[in-house]
Amino acid sequence: MKMNFYKMHNKSSKTTPKKKYKKIVYGFWTGSNKMSSLRRKNINQMYEFFKKRDIELRLITPTNLNFYIKKTGVELHEGYKYLSLTHKADYLRCYFMHFFGGGYSDIKPVFGKWREAFDKLITSDPQIYAISRPVIQEEVPEPYNHLGFEWPWRGISSKAMYMGSFIFKKNTPFTQVWYKKLMSKMDELLEKLKNSPKYPVGWHDILAYIFLPICLKYNKNILFSWFGHVPGARYKLKNDPNDNTGRRQF
């Protein structure tokens, strides 16, 4: 009988297995709305994929989120409850990578060398903070002029991490900056979130516009490898011909 992973995890954290795994990937479903059949199918594909590779998939929902907040002792920002479901997931990937570390993936079919990527990161130099597949120029939101970068970013595929799947060590300089900037942005948005009749948060405001510049700052502290979730058909990864560091493997 095939296990329904969504049903197994969409319940109280009191039933969370006590067995601990070194390799954990988090996914987020931040609302009480019902998952579509496609999302459920994706979750089950992810569970089967990771199980074969001795990786634990943990689906974080409103039902079990408080269990993890209590473990950190750090409450979510006051403005979190006003965020859209998508922006709540953007917020939580930062929170979990900073306080827990481990992997993250969108709820989409996964592929590639996840186990090897975990092993590379776990055994890497302390100055290595994260591993991901590289982002592709078509995946980078524009314009970036307000951040002081010329559009398009040349060589972005070897400079920034893909935001839909990655693995982090916890509490690194990267995640410290990421979390600090996220909290600053949430402070900035709080009154508007409370009082504005129109939702005040832009699509990329609390993830891409924060995350990608930090990738550039810590580019030498990131490994790249071929794993993640299945990209769109229009995306094609290429080796950077100017990269001779030996760090990036696609």
pLDDT tens digits along 79-129: 999 999 999 999 999 999 999 999 999 999 999 999 999 999 999 999 999
**Per-residue confidence (pLDDT) for residue 158, from 0 to 100:** 61
| 168, 173, 176, 177 alpha-carbon torsion, rounded to 10° | -110
> Is residue 239 one of the residues assigned to a domain?
no
Cβ-based neighbours of 229, under 8 Å, separated by 6 or more? 105, 106, 108, 109, 110, 111, 164, 165
Q: Where are the beta strands (DSSP E) in the chain?
A: 24-28, 56-60, 102-105, 110-112, 130-134, 161-168, 222-224, 227-229
Per-residue confidence (pLDDT) for residue 135, from 0 to 100: 72
Q: Look at residue 235 and tell me if it is in a domain.
A: no
> Tell me, what amino acid is at 172?
T
Query: Can you give the pLDDT at residue 44?
Result: 97
Query: Looking at per-residue confidence, does 3 or 188 come out higher?
Result: 188
Whether the full predicted model's pTM is greater than 0.85, yes or no, is: no
pLDDT exceeds 60 at position 221: yes
Average pLDDT over residues 226-237: 61
Residue 160 is predicted with a pLDDT of 77
* Cα angle value 18/23/25 (rounded, 5°): 90
- Give the per-residue pLDDT at 6: 46
Q: Does any domain span residue 162?
A: yes
Residue 29: strand, helix, or coil: coil
Question: Where residue 142 falls among pLDDT bands split at 50, 70, 90?
Answer: low
Q: What mean pLDDT, rounded, does the chain reach? A: 82
Give the tens place of pLDDT for each residue, 197-215: 999 999 999 998 899 889 8
Residue 31 within a domain: yes
Average pLDDT of the segment spanning 28-52: 95
Dihedral sign computed on CA atoms, order 237, 239, 240, 244:
positive
Assign 137 a pLDDT band (cuts: 50, 70, 90).
low
Is residue 110 situated within a structural domain? yes
**Cα 176-93-171 angle, rounded to 5 deg:** 25
Q: What is the pLDDT of residue 192?
A: 97
Please state, for a pLDDT cut of 70, what percent of the chain lies above it: 74
Assigned domain for 167 exists? yes
**pLDDT number for residue 49:** 97
Q: Which CATH number does the domain housing residue 83 bear? A: 3.90.550
Within a domain: 247: no
Kindly give, in sequence order, each residue whose CB lies less than 8 Å from that of residue 22, ignoring residues fewer than 6 positions away. Answer: 118, 122
The count of domains in the chain is 1
Range of the domain at 189: 5-229
